[in-house]
Amino acid sequence: MAAQILDGKEIAGKLGEQVRAEVKAFTAKHGVTPMLTVVIVGEDPASKVYVASKHKTCVELGMKSEVVRLSETATEEELLAVIDRLNADPLNHGILVQLPVPKHIDSEKVLERIRPDKDVDGFHPVNVGKLSIGKEHLVPCTPYGVIKMLEISGISVAGKNAVVIGRSNIVGKPMAALLLSRSATVTVTHSKTKDLASVCAQADILVAAIGKPEFVTKDMIKPGAVVIDVGINRLPTGKLVGDVKFDEASEVAGYITPVPGGVGPLTIAMLMYNTLRAAELQLQN
Ligand code: NDP
């Protein structure tokens, strides 16, 4: 039987409605509207598309949004000065520096400069540390979106075998931490993992975050498993595919996310959610 499709657009739409209602209530109660500022350095075409889409979604959900554009040649000091200004601005609640930044800028230094309670990407070491001790403060948007997708779809996590392929700081590691804190038995795999196919075939929930087109094949999937494809890869033909070979995987899986239209829309929905959460956190401080 073919797998049930987890429709990211539909789920993100539901989340968006929830955020819109909460933003309205927040604004009415506190007399201030949650605001996100995205900082972009340079002219990377993909980054410009992402930034425009974040700005548009913010406005659609009733939040304020500003985009700060710096030239490709902007110095690290100039970028840090922008962050310092935004950190100190009480009307700005969330700061996101669009990655990648040009090579002459140290991205780690930049991310660490953002106030942890304005860090809507959840990449600051304070937020990473909190997540690892089970205190979810501001959580990276993509893995958090996967968790929301499972929750909204009524898929339970506790007691399940979860295998995460990939151990990046933005997807794999926080994904594993979130699954663990929801009582899955979690295995994190990577490029040095031996016999990856048989490890994956034990998974009730398989999350692929590798960055290799159609890497996960049918033989790596347990019949009935939940298969979450985080990957976004563009083939030379221009076609967008995930890290999972969708057609054959959906013959075996119980649930599967498509690419595009799976995890991607959830990532942006969670950025909006985090901006609202950041505004709430700042009122508490
Ligand atoms: P990274 O390149 O940072 O990490 C990839 C991970 O995959 C690494 O841990 C690497 O292992 C592992 N890996 C690579 N090759 C293999 C292999 N042959 N077998 C097992 N593991 C392997 O990627 P990201 O985590 O940043 O992104 C992963 C994918 O998700 C990309 O396609 C990216 O575009 C997409 N993405 C999608 C988002 C969305 O909104 N949907 C958001 C963010 C990312 P090792 O550590 O050993 O090198």
Active site residue 121: yes
Ligand 1: lining residues by beta carbon, under 6 Å: 142, 165-168, 170-172, 189-193, 196, 209-212, 230-233, 263-264, 267
Q: Separation of 193 CA from ligand 1 center, angstroms?
A: 14
β-partners of residue 5 are: 256
In 3D space, the residue among 124, 101, 85, 1 whose CA is nearest the CA of residue 42 turns out to be 101
The ligand 1 atom at the shortest distance from the C-alpha of residue 210 is 7
Within a 10 A sphere around the Cβ of 158, how many other Cβ atoms? Answer: 9
Residue limits of CATH 3.40.50.10860 in the chain:
31-116
Q: Are 209 and 176 within 8 A, CB to CB?
A: no
The ligand 1 atom at the shortest distance from the C-alpha of residue 165 is 21
- If one residue of 96, 165, 167, 168 were mutated to test the ligand 1 pocket, choosing by the most ligand atoms within 8 A of its CB, it would be 168
Report which residue type is found at 50. Answer: Y
Cis peptide before 174 (omega within 30 of 0): no
Give residue 284's pLDDT: 84
> Which pair of tokens denotes residue 226?
């939940």
Q: Separation of 78 CA from ligand 1 center, angstroms?
A: 31
- If one residue of 144, 193, 210 were mutated to test the ligand 1 pocket, choosing by the most ligand atoms within 8 A of its CB, it would be 210
- CA 277: distance to chain centroid? 15
Active site residue 202: no
Beta strand 233-234 pairing with 240-241: antiparallel
Give residue 142's pLDDT: 98
pLDDT tens series, the chain, 285 aa: 699 999 999 999 999 999 999 999 999 999 999 999 999 999 999 999 999 999 999 999 999 999 999 999 999 999 999 999 999 999 999 999 999 999 999 999 999 999 999 999 999 999 999 999 999 999 999 999 999 999 999 999 999 999 999 999 999 999 999 999 999 999 999 999 999 999 999 999 999 999 999 999 999 999 999 999 999 999 999 999 999 999 999 999 999 999 999 999 999 999 999 999 999 999 887
Q: Separation of 170 CA from ligand 1 center, angstroms?
A: 9
**Burial of residue 199, with CB atoms counted within 10 A of its CB: 0-12 exposed, 13-18 middle, 19 or more buried:** middle
Please, what is the angle between helix 263-284 and helix 45-60, to 10°?
60
Identify the CATH class of 31-116. alpha beta
- If one residue of 107, 173, 190 were mutated to test the ligand 1 pocket, choosing by the most ligand atoms within 8 A of its CB, it would be 190
- CA dist., res. 8 & res. 279, Å (int): 25
Distances (CA, A) of 192 to 106, 154, 163, 200, 227: 28, 33, 15, 14, 22
Name which residue sits closest to atom 30 of ligand 1, judged by CA.
231
DSSP state string for the chain: -PPEE--HHHHHHHHHHHHHHHHHHHHHHHS---EEEEEEES--HHHHHHHHHHHHHHHHTT-EEEEEEE-TT--HHHHHHHHHHHHH-TT--EEEEPSPPPTTS-HHHHHHHS-GGGBTT--SHHHHHHHHTT--SS--HHHHHHHHHHHHTT---TT-EEEEE---TTTHHHHHHHHHHTT-EEEEE-TT-TTHHHHHTT-SEEEE----TT-B-GGGS-TT-EEEE---EE-TTS-EE-SB-HHHHHHH-SEE--SSSSHHHHHHHHHHHHHHHHHHHHHH-
Active site residue 54: yes
Q: What's domain 141-263's architecture?
A: 3-Layer(aba) Sandwich (3.40)
Catalytic residue among 117, 119, 121, 229: 121
Residue limits of CATH 3.40.50.720 in the chain:
141-263
The count of C-alpha atoms lying within 13 angstroms of the C-alpha of 247, restricted to the half-sphere facing its C-beta, is 0
Q: Separation of 230 CA from ligand 1 center, angstroms?
A: 9
Within a 10 A sphere around the Cβ of 211, how many other Cβ atoms? Answer: 14
